[in-house]
Amino acid sequence: MKTFSFQVDALTGEEYYEVYLRGQQLFADPLLNKGSHFTVNERASLGLVGLHPYGVSTLEQQVARTLESYRRKPDDMERYLFLLGLLNRNETLFYRLLTENLTEMMPIVYTPTVGQACLQLSHIMRRPRGVYIHPENIANIDQIFANVSLPQVRLIVVTDGERILGLGDLGSDGMGIPVGKISLYVAAGGIHPACCLPVCLDVGTNSPRLLDDPLYMGIRKPRLEGEEYDRFIERFVVGVRRNFPDALLQWEDFAKHKAFKLMKRYRDRCLSFNDDIQGTGVTASAALLAAMRIKKSSFAAERFVIVGMGQAGTGTAHAIRAVLREDGLPEDEIRRRIFAVDMQGLLVEDDPKLEDEQKPFAQARAAVAGWTLAAPGRIDLKDVLRNAKATALIGFTAKRGMFDEEILRQMAANDPRPVILALSNPTTKSECTAEEALAATGGRALIATGSPFAPVRVGEREVAVAQCNNLYMFPGVGLGALVSQASKVTDRMFIRASKALAEMVSDAELQMGLLLPGMESIREVAYTVAKAVAIEARDSGLGLLRSDEELGELIRKAQWEPHFYSYRPGVPH
Q: Are residues 241 and 284 in the same domain?
A: no
Q: What is the pLDDT of residue 427?
A: 81
d(CA 419, CA 288): 8
Q: What is the pLDDT of residue 112?
A: 83
Q: Residue 16 burial (CB < 10 Å; 0-12/13-18/19+)?
A: middle
d(CA 289, CA 502): 6
Using alpha carbons, list the distances in angstroms from residue 267 to 161, 173, 234, 259: 21, 26, 13, 12
Helix residue ranges per DSSP H, 350-506: 381-388, 405-414, 434-440, 474-483, 491-504
Q: Are residues 258 and 282 in the same domain?
A: no
Q: What is the pLDDT of residue 451?
A: 83
* Residues annotated as catalytic (active site), given as ranges: 110, 181
- Here the CATH number for the domain that contains residue 410 is 3.40.50.720
Q: What is the pLDDT of residue 167?
A: 87
Q: Are residues 459 and 490 in the same domain?
A: no
Q: What is the pLDDT of residue 51?
A: 92
Of 468, 502, 521, at which residue does a domain stop?
468
The model's pLDDT over 99-148, given as tens digits with 9 standing for 90+, comes to 999 989 998 998 889 999 999 999 999 999 999 999 999 999 999 999 99
Of 468, 487, 502, at which residue does a domain stop?
468
Q: Are residues 304 and 452 in the same domain?
A: yes
The model's pLDDT over 499-514, given as tens digits with 9 standing for 90+, comes to 999 999 999 999 999 9
Of 221, 242, 270, at which residue does a domain stop?
270
Instruction: Tell me which residue range forms the domain holding 231.
Output: 58-270
- Here the CATH number for the domain that contains residue 189 is 3.40.50.10380
Residue pair 181/193 in contact (Cβ under 8 Å)? The answer is no
Q: Are residues 482 and 500 in the same domain?
A: yes
Residue pair 214/188 in contact (Cβ under 8 Å)? The answer is no
Q: What is the pLDDT of residue 169?
A: 97
The DSSP symbol for 126 reads S
Q: What is the pLDDT of residue 460?
A: 86
d(CA 382, CA 568): 67
Helix residue ranges per DSSP H, 415-571: 434-440, 474-483, 491-504, 507-512, 522-539, 548-558
Residues of the chain with pLDDT below 50 are none
Instruction: Look at the chain and report how many structural domains it folds into.
Output: 3
Q: Are residues 366 and 257 in the same domain?
A: no
- CA torsion angle 394 396 400 404 (round to 10): -30
